[in-house]
Amino acid sequence: MHIQIEGIAKSMEQARIAEYTELLLKPWRMIWLNILSGIARGVGIAIGFTVFAATIVYVLQWLNLLNLPIVGDYIADLVRVVQRQLEGKTY
């Protein structure tokens, strides 16, 4: 019986039931943790998208240097639009 109770206690400790229960008893802490995790997730998405978009623009500029007839004009226009947006100018 003692071994079974120790096994149950060990499994509950591994599942962090006590921490979860404590979190449920303090709703403001749960709200605060959710706000922080949401901010962190948003910043991560923004940084990731920025790196992805910069990589795409860099590849498009590199393809523009190859002077492909039809694709090159389209890419050049796209790069110009992006550069104008980065400079804060409108069309």
Q: At residue 86, does pLDDT exceed 70?
A: yes
Asked if 20 and 14 count as a contact pair (C-beta separation under 8 A), the reply is no
Alpha-carbon distance of 81 to 74, in angstroms, equals 11
| Predicted pLDDT of residue 32 | 92
Q: At residue 91, does pLDDT exceed 70?
A: no
* Whole-number percent of the chain with pLDDT over 90: 29
| Predicted pLDDT of residue 2 | 75
Asked if 63 and 71 count as a contact pair (C-beta separation under 8 A), the reply is yes
| Predicted pLDDT of residue 89 | 65
| Predicted pLDDT of residue 51 | 95
Alpha-carbon distance of 91 to 81, in angstroms, equals 8
Q: What is the pTM of this model?
A: 0.53
